[in-house]
Structure 1
Amino acid sequence: MPTEYLVLLSFYGLLSLVIFCFYGVDKFAAIRGKQRIRESTLHILSLVGGWPGAMLGQAVFRHKTKKLRFLVVFWLTIMVNLVCLAGVVFLTY
């Protein structure tokens, strides 16, 4: 496996871990009525590659799973990310 792909996988993994933690922090802030993480922050992190961790965070913490507007934007960020990822892989192959 080329080094570029390992770097890309590491980036996705690290960003996924970060956003997974963000979902947990935001869920517990919501429960306690504390200051929340902005939805735009969650979307940006998903857009740049953290969406696997976001999906896991939604499932584990049962957070942001019923808000339709959020979910529509979330799935759009995944689609945009995958299209960009396919472009990068295509251009480097």
Structure 2
Amino acid sequence: MLPMFSLYLLVVNILLFSWMGIDKRRARMHEWRISERRLWITAVIGGALGGWAGMQVFRHKTKHTAFVIGFPCLVAVHVLLILYFL
């Protein structure tokens, strides 16, 4: 069960990290964007660390207080939940 959960977390975090980069590129090119709702849902279901890393690497959503505070808080919640269930 643990390897499957680890794989899930890896995939979700890579996905959100990638979406942050894609959305930043699309924003610069004035193209269709990935919705904030989709970014948040992906963060809530386990991808917060990837989203937070994407914010730092791509300098994306760094002026949005909800993202700047929310993603690190979600990372903390996810870590606490993982520790609790282990």
TM-score (norm 1): 0.76
In the alignment, structure 2 segments of 5+ residues that lack a partner are: none
State the superposition RMSD in angstroms: 1.7
Q: 1:40 to 1:77 in 2, by over 3 A?
A: farther
User: In terms of Rg, which structure is larger?
Assistant: 1
- Correspondence 1:85 to 2:79: no
TM-score (norm 2): 0.81
CA distance in 2, matches of 1:27, 1:73: 19
CA distance in 1, matches of 2:23, 2:84: 32
- Residue in structure 2 matched with residue 26 of structure 1 by the alignment: 23
In the alignment, structure 1 segments of 5+ residues that lack a partner are: none
Percent of residue pairs identical: 28
Following TM superposition, the consecutive aligned residue runs of length 4 or more in structure 1 with deviations greater than 2 angstroms are 69-89
Q: Aligned pair count? A: 86
Q: What is the Cα deviation at residue 86 of structure 1? A: 3.6
